[in-house]
């Protein structure tokens, strides 16, 4: 979920999700995305990836059982134009394959083992059923979890995959996850790329968008930047360890949601909630659920 970009606007990082700008003018526009800013979102990062191999069906299932509010899906695109759930542009880290995703067809990728790496890296968490799990497509995830689930989708490296946004919106429309009778909160799209988000916003202004940011040093954002983000997104997300209370409150004062990533320690979760974040990404949605129940 991590990608370093120099300027703030091109910068990156995961984001937050959830809740819309609650102003009366926007409420009057039926096509303007709105999310409840008072609902703290528990976003299962790549599924419950602290417990199971990331971006596998079992990880997503576990995230649901642990009360994650959203199935978080990073998208890559195969040589034959299929959208798959994978964080990296290359196959090396999370499969027994090698090389760029864009140079392999879906059929080739489906032959790979997408989970044995987890058993090897985390022997204390290893399970026999993880070995041999396959890389899911976006459509397979939607087919399994259906319209009852919420989806938090990232266009990863969209500059590498021309047409990714159109394919994504076509699938969401096909499975009736967008449209006039669908809650704005059903699908949230995030990206490190402002261009990708603005493209989605132009194609379908009713979908809530989140601008991802990455900070190498203590986070700082200007009023002008926040107002620019508001022209196409409902919130921003960033690496949690570089922000402070003043940053969070400034973002919220501008009516934007804020969902830092990736927060795995309960102490950090409590601190961020006290500062006023509207959600966060975690590899351990069960831990965040416990913290939220304390409130």
Q: What's the token pair of residue 18? A: 């959830």
**Which of 45, 51, 55, 201 is flagged as catalytic?**
45
Bridge-based pairing state of the strands 209-212 and 70-77: unpaired
Strand bridging mode 279-282 / 257-258: unpaired
State how far the Cα of 127 lies from the Cα of 199, in Å rounded to an integer.
41
Whether the CB-CB separation of 85 and 55 falls below 8 Å is answered with yes
- Catalytic one among 51, 87, 201, 259? 87
* DSSP secondary structure letter of residue 256: -
Annotate 125-172 with DSSP letters as a single string: G--GGGTTPPPPBHHHHHHHHGGGS-EEEEE-SGGGSTTHHHHHHHHH
Report the Cα 251 to chain-centroid distance in Å: 19
For residues 25 and 139, what is the distance between their CA atoms, to the nearest angstrom?
A: 35
The answer to whether 199 and 233 have CB atoms below 8 angstroms apart is: no
Active site residue 32: no
45 as an active site residue: the answer is: yes
| Number of separate helices (H) and strands (E) present in the chain | 11, 9
pTM, to two decimals: 0.89
For 269, half-sphere exposure in the C-beta direction (CA atoms, 13 angstrom radius) is 26
Q: What is the pLDDT along the chain (295 residues), one digit of tens a residue?
A: 544 443 333 333 333 333 333 333 333 333 458 788 889 999 999 999 999 999 999 999 999 999 999 999 999 999 999 999 999 999 999 999 999 999 999 999 999 999 999 999 999 999 999 999 999 999 999 999 999 999 999 999 999 999 999 999 999 999 999 998 999 999 999 999 999 999 999 999 999 999 999 999 999 999 999 999 999 999 999 999 999 999 999 999 999 999 999 999 999 999 999 999 999 999 999 999 999 999 7
**Strands, E assignment, the chain:** 41-44, 70-77, 83-85, 151-155, 187-191, 209-212, 235-237, 257-258, 279-282
Both tokens of 152, joined, read 């938090």
């Amino acid at each position: 979920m991590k990608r370093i970009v120099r300027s703030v606007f091109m910068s990156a990082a995961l984001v937050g999700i959830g809740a819309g700008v609650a102003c009366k003018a926007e409420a009057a526009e039926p096509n303007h995305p709105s999310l409840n800013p008072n609902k703290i979102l528990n976003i299962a990062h790549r599924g419950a990836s602290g417990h199971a191999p990331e971006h596998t069906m079992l990880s997503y299932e576990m995230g649901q059982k642990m009360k994650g509010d959203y199935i978080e899906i990073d998208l890559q695109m195969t040589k034959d134009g299929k959208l798959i759930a994978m964080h990296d542009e290359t196959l090396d880290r999370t499969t027994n394959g090698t090389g760029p995703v864009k140079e392999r067809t879906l059929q080739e990728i489906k032959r790979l083992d997408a989970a044995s790496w987890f058993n090897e890296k985390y022997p204390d968490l290893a399970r026999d059923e993880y070995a041999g799990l396959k890389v899911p497509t976006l459509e397979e995830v939607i087919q399994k979890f259906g319209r009852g689930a919420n989806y938090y989708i990232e266009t990863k490296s969209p500059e590498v995959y021309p047409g990714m946004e159109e394919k994504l919106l076509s699938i969401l429309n096909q499975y009736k996850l967008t449209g006039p009778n669908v809650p704005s909160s059903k699908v949230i799209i995030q990206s490190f790329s402002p261009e990708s988000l603005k493209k989605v916003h132009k194609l379908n202004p009713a979908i809530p968008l989140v601008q991802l940011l990455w900070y190498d040093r203590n986070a700082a954002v200007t009023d002008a930047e926040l107002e620019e983000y508001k022209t196409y997104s409902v919130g921003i997300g960033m690496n949690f360890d570089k922000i402070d209370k003043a940053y969070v409150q400034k973002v919220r004062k501008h009516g934007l949601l804020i969902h830092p990533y990736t927060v795995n320690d309960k102490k950090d979760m409590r601190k961020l909630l006290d500062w006023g974040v509207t959600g966060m990404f975690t590899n351990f949605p069960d831990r965040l659920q416990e913290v939220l129940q304390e409130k």
